[in-house]
């Protein structure tokens, strides 16, 4: 009997994670809906997934803490006996001029966006190896990994590190049939945008070659494809989804 495909999406209570979780459910996955603080959003998305006839489990955990990560996975594997796909989506964005960055900000970004992704991937990969699952790990990074914006001396380098981790993990895990890829969105429209945010989006969209922001659902569609057998020969690489924002010679920033 064929097992249902099972995915865990971190940071699925809001933003890009919600779009990814929904698209995976539409594609036939049962989904572990992880959240850090957005419980209401996680429960809402889980209810929508169940309404599609798929199984959804809500799991809370602080991914800055390795023991909490391990407990997250213990809870996940109480419900599912294997994992086909991990989406390391959870992350935070903190911006400040280089001379004003303090240790608390540095730790928050590094520990969430890099350390958390590293140890979540390790737990998922261990289970994949144990069960003989030729699974997929998708890391959500950002076009900040190669583009430079003001006040991004922590966030940008951390996303670059996650891109490099994707490559090294892919090399180490290939012998188990596990693929590791990354998706790097650019400007993305999110459900909590204020009127001011929407006005900024309208202004910035004119500088993006495709003239608009990405949507969480589009990122989710990319994840579904990369996790599918159609992408079975793709590993150790990053798909940029920024509407061509990095293409102009003069980068968009406050000085131009």
How far apart CA 106 and CA 109 sit, in angstroms, is 6
Q: What does residue 151 show for φ and ψ, rounded to 5 degrees?
A: 70, 20
Region of residue 46 (phi > 0: left; psi between -120 and 50: alpha; otherwise: beta): alpha
How far apart CA 145 and CA 160 sit, in angstroms, is 4
The catalytic residue among 35, 155, 187, 213 is: 155
Only one residue has tokens 């693929």, namely 179
SS3 14: coil
How far apart CA 123 and CA 198 sit, in angstroms, is 38
Helix 15-26 / helix 216-227 crossing angle, nearest 10 deg: 50
- Our answer to whether residue 176 is catalytic in this structure is no
As annotated, the active-site residues are 155
């Amino acid at each position: 009997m064929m097992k249902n495909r099972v995915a865990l999406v971190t940071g699925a209570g809001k933003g890009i994670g919600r779009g990814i979780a929904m698209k995976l459910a539409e594609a036939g996955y049962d989904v572990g809906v992880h959240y850090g603080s957005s419980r209401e959003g996680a429960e809402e998305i889980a209810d929508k997934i169940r309404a599609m006839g798929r199984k959804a489990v809500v799991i809370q955990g602080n991914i800055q803490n390795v023991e909490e990560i391990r407990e997250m996975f213990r809870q996940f594997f109480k419900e599912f006996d294997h994992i086909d796909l991990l989406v390391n989506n959870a992350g935070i964005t903190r911006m400040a001029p280089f001379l004003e960055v303090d240790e608390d900000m540095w730790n928050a970004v590094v520990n969430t966006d890099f350390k958390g992704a590293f140890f979540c991937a390790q737990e998922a990969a261990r289970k994949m190896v144990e069960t003989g699952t030729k699974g997929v790990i998708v890391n959500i990074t950002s076009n900040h990994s190669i583009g430079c914006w003001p006040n991004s001396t922590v966030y940008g380098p951390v996303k670059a590190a996650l891109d490099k981790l994707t490559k090294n993990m892919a090399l180490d895990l290939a012998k188990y049939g596990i693929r590791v890829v990354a998706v790097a969105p650019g400007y993305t429209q999110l459900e909590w945008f204020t009127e001011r945010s929407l006005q900024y989006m309208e202004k910035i969209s004119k500088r993006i070659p495709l003239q608009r922001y990405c949507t969480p659902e589009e990122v989710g569609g990319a994840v579904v494809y990369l996790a599918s057998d159609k992408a079975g020969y793709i590993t150790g690489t990053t798909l940029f989804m920024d509407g061509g924002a990095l293409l102009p010679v003069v980068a968009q920033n406050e000085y131009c």
